[in-house]
Amino acid sequence: MSGKLGILASQKAPAQEALRQLSSAYDFVANDEAEVIVALGGDGFMLRTLHSMLEGDIPERPVFGINRGTVGFLMNPLRDDDLHERVAAAKAIEIAPLRMDVTTTDGKKDHRAAINEVSLLRETGRTAKISIDVAGRPALDELVCDGVMVATPAGSTAYNLSAGGPILPLSANMLALTPISPFRPRRWPGAILPEDTAVNFTVKDPEDRRVAAVADYYEVRDVAKVSVTLDRERQLTLLFDPDHALDERIALEQFAVS
């Protein structure tokens, strides 16, 4: 699988410097000819790369990320080891995106994919009022909050964790439903749901208490209804050094103190 490598790089200086170094040491092919794509950048660049695959802008291939950003949770470190050998020895992790289907207050419909999470966020100084249906059944008649999200295991250590949501191992096959600054019910902690569960949100008084829906970084404003489901048919593959596998990183985040 490591015979033909393509490469993509963030426009930021560390990624461009790594691109020059690696391009002088290895013969990369066009991405549509590659068996694996090497992505140079940070977690944000990895998300954009995966979204470009889902949207058909670049071919869907396993991705071996190399961290030239800040946190690099979804990336491998830059090392002097032979790149082809690293890719050949890498552990493959399959991740499935969420599908966000939205209806806006003026009746327009849109849909987007999310690798990490789908978030509903208040647009104004007024709290949002949102009802939640889970698997076709009413779960919360009214959540008064700054927002609420559905997060994947891969995204559970990102915004979800910052909002107080649970860390989900990749093998758990679960989704996190996490409130953002809930006012009523005041101490509602959210829920952990089977991954095949459809979650439907209805914004109450959407003209006055406007709410935006965000799939990773793609925002739709003034939404009235949002449906979130896991899209198992669009799985993507990330490659990790055996000692830096994503499932192990997620588990170890439960012990992080900094």
Confidence of residue 258 (pLDDT cuts 50, 70, 90): low
Residues in binding site for NAD(+): 43-44, 48, 116-117, 126, 146, 154, 157-162
Taking all residues of the chain, what is their mean pLDDT, rounded to a whole number? Answer: 94
Would you call 196 a catalytic residue per the annotation? no
Question: Percent of the chain at pLDDT above 70?
Answer: 98
Task: Give Cβ neighbours of residue 211 (< 8 Å, ≥ 6 apart).
Answer: 120, 121, 122, 123, 128, 130, 147, 203, 222, 223
- Give the domain ranges of the chain: 5-95+235-255, 98-232
Choose, from 27, 32, 43, 208, the residue flagged as catalytic.
43
Tell me the residue length of the chain: 258
| Mean predicted confidence (pLDDT) in 55-74 | 93
Q: Which residue has the tokens 């082809």?
A: 84
| Mean predicted confidence (pLDDT) in 13-36 | 96
Q: How far apart are CA 43 and CA 68, in angstroms?
A: 9
Structure tokens at 37: 């794509």
Q: How far apart are CA 242 and CA 120, in angstroms?
A: 36
Q: What pLDDT is stored for residue 187 in this prediction?
A: 84
> Could you confirm whether domain 98-232 is CATH 1.10.3720.10?
no
- Each residue's pLDDT tens digit, 102-153: 999 999 999 999 999 999 999 999 999 999 999 999 999 999 999 999 999 9
Look at domain 5-95+235-255 and name its CATH class: alpha beta
